[in-house]
Amino acid sequence: MMNSIKIKGLMATIASATILFSTLSANAADTGLPHPERHDYKSAGVFGKFDLPSLQRGLQIYQEVCAACHSLDLVAFRSLADLGYNEDEIKAIAIEYEYEIIDDEGDVQFRTGIPADYFPAPFANEQMARASNFGALPPDFSTLVKAREHLSFLPWSSVYGEDYIVALMMGYEEEAPEGVEMNEGLYFNHYFAGNQIAMAPPLFEEMVEYADGTSASIEQMSYDVANFMAWASDPTMQERKEMGLKVMLFMVVFVILLYFTNKRVWKKVKKGEDIDPANL
């Protein structure tokens, strides 16, 4: 009786908490913008792995398209090993870039990049970036996918950063819908907060020639660059999930053992066999 009341109270609390959090989740995504469509990623889920061919294509898109305006300050060439490149391939990628150094005479010289270098930024500073982009600042890509990821208690009302990137790339409209007053130099996009974005539609059909021969549709390029940006934001994802699996498997076995240990330790005491009723 006593237990059943307690359980009922607890259940009522859990039920109301669930209702609260589900409305909470519905509201969390309520920004007046359409919900980005959920795509399939090899990196998703408990067993998620990096989609190496897609990441390599995404790197190509970044280098040939995005890097003209967007920096990737926190990613070093050496970490491209995650994308499946070997040491020589990484050296070959790094050598394409130039870095300023000060020589022994105090003069500025240039040297080619090495794997330990970071992707150089397209603009020397924020002012230059804004001046070249009609006053808008192209955001750095290093943590951008994570900064656009709005997780909620309900998976279907969560916004995943990769999906947002794909939706944004695909979400341009040549003509703003009727009644929308566009500011000069801005483009209409269904998924951008406020619907007016300073970035011109960056991708066009077949604008790059993929090294692996994949057909470069806008959708394919968006998907690949989203995968690449997701990796840049969370490069330890795969290591994290692989270790998580080991930890969980170990803990399941360990907790089962602890459960039976506890049960055995308590066996007599639980039943009150140690109590002498005459001595109460």
Partner 1 sequence: MASENKFEPTNPAVKWVEDRLPIMGLIYSAVGAGYNVPRNLNYWWNFGVLAGFMMVVQIVTGIVLAMHYIPHIDLAFDSVQHIKRDVNYGWLIQAIHANGASMFFIAVYIHILRGFYFGSYKAPREILWFLGVIIYLIMMATGFMGYVLPWGQMSFWGAKVITNLFSAFDFIPIIGDGIVEWLWGGFAVDQPTLNRFYSLHYLLPFVLVGVVILHIWALHIPGSTNPLGIDAKGPHDKIPFHPYYTAKDAFGLGVFIMFFAAFVFYMPDFLGHPDNYIKANALVTPEHIVPEWYYLPFYAILRAIPDKLLGVVAMFSSILILFAMPWLDGARIRSMRFRPLSKFFFWLFVVNGLFLGYLGQIPTDQIVTMGIDALTFAQFATLFYFAYFIVIMPLVSRMETTKPVPVSIAAAVLDANKKKG
Q: What is the dihedral of CA 183, 35, 25, 41, to 10 degrees?
A: -130
User: Which two tokens mark 5?
Assistant: 């009341």
* Part of the chain binding partner 1 (CB under 8 A), chosen from 61-69, 71-79, 170-178, 204-212: 71-79
The whole-angstrom separation of Cα 145 and Cα 230 is 6
By CB under 8 A, residue 81 contacts partner 1: no
The dihedral through the CA atoms of 15, 18, 24, 29 has a sign that is: negative
* Part of the chain binding partner 1 (CB under 8 A), chosen from 95-103, 166-174, 210-218, 233-241: 233-241
User: Which two tokens mark 123?
Assistant: 């603009």
* Part of the chain binding partner 1 (CB under 8 A), chosen from 61-69, 91-99, 199-207, 231-239: 231-239
By CB under 8 A, residue 21 contacts partner 1: yes
The whole-angstrom separation of Cα 222 and Cα 264 is 58
* Part of the chain binding partner 1 (CB under 8 A), chosen from 97-105, 166-174, 209-217, 241-249: 241-249
Question: Contacts with partner 1 in 113-142 (CB under 8 A)?
Answer: 139, 142
Of residues 27 and 112, the one with the C-beta less far from partner 1: 27
What's the closest the beta carbon of residue 5 comes to partner 1, in angstroms?
Answer: 8
By CB under 8 A, residue 249 contacts partner 1: no
Question: Of these, 74, 95, 136, 176, which contacts partner 1 (CB under 8 A)?
Answer: 74
What's the closest the beta carbon of residue 245 comes to partner 1, in angstroms?
Answer: 8
Q: How many residues bind partner 1 (CB under 8 A)?
A: 58
Helix (H, G, I), strand (E, B) or coil at 178: coil
What kind and span of H or E run contains 189? strand 187-189
User: Which two tokens mark 9?
Assistant: 């109270």
Question: Contacts with partner 1 in 166-225 (CB under 8 A)?
Answer: 193
The dihedral through the CA atoms of 145, 146, 147, 150 has a sign that is: positive
Neighbour count for residue 189 (Cβ, 10 Å):
22
List C-alpha distances in Å: 127 to 133, 134, 139, 143: 10, 11, 13, 21
Q: Can you give the binding site for partner 1, defined by CB under 8 A? A: 2, 5-6, 9, 12-13, 16-17, 20-21, 23-24, 27, 46, 73-74, 79, 139, 142-144, 146-151, 193, 233, 235-236, 239-241, 243-245, 247-248, 251-252, 254-255, 258-259, 261-262, 265-266, 269, 271-272, 274-277, 279-280
